[in-house]
Amino acid sequence: MASGGSGFRNGTRNTMRNSPSFPVPKPTPAKSRNGTSIAGIRRASGSVAVNDDAGVPGRVRVAVRLRPKNAEELVTDADFADCVELQPELKRLKLRKNNWDSDTYQFDEVLTEFASQKRVYEVVAKPVVESVLEGYNGTVMAYGQTGTGKTFTLGRLGEEDPAARGIMVRSMEDILADISPETDSISVSYLQLYMETIQDLLNPSNDNIAILEDPKTGDVSVPNATVVEIKDQNSFLNLLILGEAHRFAANTKLNTESSRSHAILLVHVKRSVKGNHDRAVSVSCENGNASSLIKSFRPQMVRKSKLVVVDLAGSERIDKSGSEGHTLEEAKSINLSLSALGKCINALAENSSHVPVRDSKLTRLLRDSFGGTARTSLIITIGSSPRHRGETTSTISFGQRTMKVENMVKIKEEFDYKSLCRRLDIEVDRLIAENERQRKNYEDDIERLRDNAQQRIDDAERACQIALEAPTQCASEEITELKELLKKETASRRSTEEENRTLKSQMMHLKKSETASNTELIKLHKMLEDEAYQKDKLEEEIAILRSQLLQLSFEADETRRTLDRGGTGKVFPGLDTLMTQIKNPQLRDSENGQKASFAKLFEQVGLQKILSLLGSEDSDVRIHAVKVVANLAAEEANQEKIVDAGGLTSLLMLLRTSEDETIRRVAAGAIANLAMNETNQELVMTQGGISLLSLTADNAEDPQTLRMVAGAIANLCGNDKLQSRLRSDGGIKALLSMVRCGHPDVLAQVARGIANFAKCESRASTQGSKVGKSFLLEDGALSWIVKNANNEAAPIRRHIELALCHLAQHEVNAKEMIGGGALWELVRISRDCSREDIRSLAHRTLTSSPTFFAELKRLRIEC
Ligand SMILES: Nc1ncnc2c1ncn2[C@@H]1O[C@H](COP(=O)(O)OP(=O)(O)OP(=O)(O)O)[C@@H](O)[C@H]1O
């Protein structure tokens, strides 16, 4: 994601936006500079991007995929019309607003529920994979509500049915088929991003990996992540299986679900570029030999590219009180990274001058994928159920905004200095060995010659001695003969000594040239180190300049805003204007319009005035005012201001005093939203919130009122600090009393509250801060839990299954659970639960608890 202000996003933007379906522009690899000198290279960096052309524009491609209805939807939605209708031939999607009205959206590809995995790969990912093989960076990302098929699309291995293979597997098959193993290499890292922490799925002990950003090139890397070289498809499949097992183990340990974390697969492709031998590096050296040696080495050109495949967490709108199963911290952090992604996409789509890339780790990791230099393809996944119209609408609008984001794809070639250095090292070692071999031969020759000469001298001396001892007659002849011999031997000895001297001088010469080569090598190493140091310094300066620039642009924005506000001259328009705006029916036409208007009201009228209307005499005004407050409370940014201005107290007061159920329902919803925040949860408790919510529940007739109340209590149940207070104030009993209404939305919230409570309680028991039986069991929740453990509505069932697993983890609960029939449910969960992590949690719990284990043995049940 490129940060704001980079000019390349303009230019072709309008033509792109006007053509709803277009071929991806095929980038022409830019030409490299020839004959680059080492001096030229040194100015840039140790690893030099030879090609720094501006790149080729390429809009982010967006495809939408509809998941087939599952068995549950076929039953529950049987009497209702689907909320979407696809027109794949026109690449259009119709989103039904009601029976007679619908909105139409255009996408790059529209994939129906019958689309095969092969076709999805070919239209969504194959163009990106082909680009990566040409040297460009590429991203394939899936976005959508939980359970709509993101993992199905990206991560299926297809072990049983090859036609089911997902995008990750098919991408690697194409990459391996295209590269040449002698010159190219592929390596892989596999990460999980959960609660703003990056975990290594290939090495779970590596659980807090830092992100490194190169301020010069904008490249993002995770240097401490495990990188595994891939030689064949089997080794890649084994890595995916290992990664999934670690992801599952990490999520089980944290008692969470895979759908709450983002999974990121990084595939690094390094290819050498053929036909670039004219780009030799020339080196000027003092020593002629070394110069010719180094001149014969030419650095190879390499293209490094990266394929990023991202399986995002479920995109449901967890900021609403009615959402399922998220604890507060998780909700905040998933919110943080997904909403940061949304904000960046909005800023890029609107061509804004500032793109808040640094707001989350997800956006930092993906900075190159949106508005950067990568080719990016997004697949949004949806379901057709009218029950999820809200989520489907928000997924579609994310996809539509993303279609406006334009990247500038760029190829990057580098001189491969590492391999040059390696080759030089090998050559120097070869020369050293050769030199040593020759020296040894010379020394042996000298030794042999010396021995020969000595032998001959000894022979001559012996002969001389014999001659001296012989009769005088022949003595003079023999002496002459011997003198002659001695002369010859002396001459031969001299010539041997001369030869010896010559060899020694040759050896000295060789030693000198070896020293010169070593000096040259040391010089080259030093040059590389200097370059790395200069590069680091430049990067530091650029980072400082960037931050100054950001500060300046922030101050400019502030100044502009202040001037704008001063221009209107009206900070608080009158109360009449507020009322007119609240009652204006046009404001209720669209959700976005309504939100924007409320935000404007908030700014213009002032919170105090809005809150004061909660006590108005006119009940119509009171209803509108509480709706305004509830809408403001749904925005996280407003919550603190509302509480500081006494809004929470006023809302609780309305629960106590108002006779109108609509007011009580909307107030409970607002309280539920405020109770997403830990500090506010404590305030709700200290102000007697539980008994007021219980009272509201007792008097409620509308299931939606109960849903709001249950949602608020469920949020409080997720706070570790409030467990015993919540119970003594009657929170658990209040939750259980609401099941009388039987409405599935209410039951889902009750189940969520019970799961939250069980999870916190289990944590407290493990830490030793809670002893004794579970409060849930003491307050009689077990029979409802057991009755609903196999509820046909998936959200209810899933929460209850989790709650049962948490309760069963503590031996003190085991006997009562067996007596209440929970054992059978746990056995069923360990065998039939559709969620593998819950299934295995139940199995582990049953086999590790002595009480459960003994009972299973007694009943001869195998688990
Ligand atoms: N196109 C499809 N055809 C058949 N079944 C599908 C399809 N898409 C998804 N499913 C099924 O729907 C269920 C949910 O899919 P999946 O787990 O991929 O969703 P998800 O969006 O990744 O969910 P989460 O956000 O929880 O990870 C799975 O059982 C999967 O097999």
Q: What is the 3-state secondary structure (H, E, C) of 558-572?
A: HHHHHHHHHHHCCCC
pLDDT over 80 at 369, yes or no: yes
Q: How many whole angstroms from 828 Cα to the centroid of ligand 1?
A: 22
Give, as one character, the DSSP assignment of residue 272.
Answer: E
- 151 known member of a binding site: yes
Task: Mark 547-576 as b/e (b = at least 16 C-beta within 10 Å).
Answer: eeeeeeeeeeeeeeeeeeeeeeeeeeeeee
- 515 known member of a binding site: no
Residue to mutate (ligand 1; options 65, 67, 248; most atoms within 8 A of CB):
67
Lowest mean pLDDT among 35-44, 103-112, 791-800: 35-44
- 639 known member of a binding site: no
Mean pLDDT of the chain: 80
pLDDT over 70 at 399, yes or no: yes
Residue 419, pLDDT score: 63
Residue 276, pLDDT score: 45
Residue 7, pLDDT score: 25
Task: Compute the average pLDDT of residues 356-380.
Answer: 89
* Band of residue 44 on the pLDDT scale cut at 50, 70, 90: very low
Q: Which CATH class is domain 7-77+104-415?
A: alpha beta
Give, as one character, the DSSP assignment of residue 136.
Answer: B
Please tell me the distance from the alpha carbon of residue 786 to that of residue 804, in angstroms, as a whole number. 8
Residues 6+ apart with CB under 8 A from 701: 661
Residue 833, pLDDT score: 87
Nearest one of 236, 250, 380, 258 to 313, comparing CA atoms: 258
* Band of residue 150 on the pLDDT scale cut at 50, 70, 90: very high
pLDDT over 80 at 35, yes or no: no
Give the position, in ligand 1's atom list, of the atom nearest the Cα of 834: 29
Nearest CA to ligand 1 atom 25: 146
pLDDT over 50 at 12, yes or no: no
- 146 known member of a binding site: yes
* Band of residue 154 on the pLDDT scale cut at 50, 70, 90: very high
**For 731-768, what is each residue's pLDDT tens digit?**
999 999 999 989 999 999 999 999 999 999 999 998 99
pLDDT over 80 at 128, yes or no: yes
- 730 known member of a binding site: no
Lowest mean pLDDT among 180-194, 232-246, 360-374, 803-817: 360-374
* Band of residue 557 on the pLDDT scale cut at 50, 70, 90: low
Give the position, in ligand 1's atom list, of the atom nearest the Cα of 113: 1
Give the position, in ligand 1's atom list, of the atom nearest the Cα of 314: 25
Instruction: State both tokens at 58.
Output: 């390429």
Residue to mutate (ligand 1; options 74, 119, 151; most atoms within 8 A of CB):
151
Question: Within 13 Å and on the Cβ side, how many CA atoms surround 840?
Answer: 12
pLDDT over 50 at 152, yes or no: yes
- 381 known member of a binding site: no
For residues 568 and 380, which has the higher predicted lDDT (pLDDT)? Answer: 380
**For 423-451, what is each residue's pLDDT tens digit?**
677 777 888 888 888 888 888 998 999 99
Lowest mean pLDDT among 372-376, 646-650, 777-781: 372-376
Residue pair 54/407 in contact by the 8 Å Cβ criterion: no
**For 297-340, what is each residue's pLDDT tens digit?**
556 678 899 999 999 988 775 544 344 455 666 666 666 888 89
Instruction: State both tokens at 815.
Output: 């006997």
Q: How many whole angstroms from 320 Cα to the centroid of ligand 1?
A: 24
Residues 6+ apart with CB under 8 A from 200: 189, 190, 191, 206, 207, 209, 224, 225, 226
Residue 257, pLDDT score: 54
Nearest one of 337, 334, 342 to 395, comparing CA atoms: 342
Residue 77, pLDDT score: 80
- 150 known member of a binding site: yes
DSSP assignment of 61-96: EEEEEEPPP-HHHHHHTTTS--SEEEEGGGTEEEEE
- 145 known member of a binding site: yes
Q: What residue ranges line ligand 1, CB within 6 angstroms?
A: 67-68, 144, 146-152, 258-259, 314, 381
Give the position, in ligand 1's atom list, of the atom nearest the Cα of 257: 26
* Band of residue 531 on the pLDDT scale cut at 50, 70, 90: confident
Task: Compute the average pLDDT of residues 204-221.
Answer: 87
Residue 26, pLDDT score: 38
Give the position, in ligand 1's atom list, of the atom nearest the Cα of 311: 22
Instruction: State both tokens at 708.
Output: 């709001």
| Most confident of the ranges 343-352, 456-465, 751-760 | 751-760
pLDDT over 70 at 36, yes or no: no
**For 594-653, what is each residue's pLDDT tens digit?**
455 555 656 656 788 888 888 888 888 888 889 888 888 888 888 888 999 899 999 999
pLDDT over 90 at 143, yes or no: yes
Task: Compute the average pLDDT of residues 546-568.
Answer: 54
Nearest CA to ligand 1 atom 14: 147
Residue 669, pLDDT score: 92
Q: How many whole angstroms from 151 Cα to the centroid of ligand 1?
A: 6
Where are the chain's structural domains?
Answer: 7-77+104-415, 417-525
Nearest CA to ligand 1 atom 4: 68
**For 682-729, what is each residue's pLDDT tens digit?**
999 999 999 999 999 998 888 999 999 999 999 999 999 999 999 999
Q: How many whole angstroms from 246 Cα to the centroid of ligand 1?
A: 20
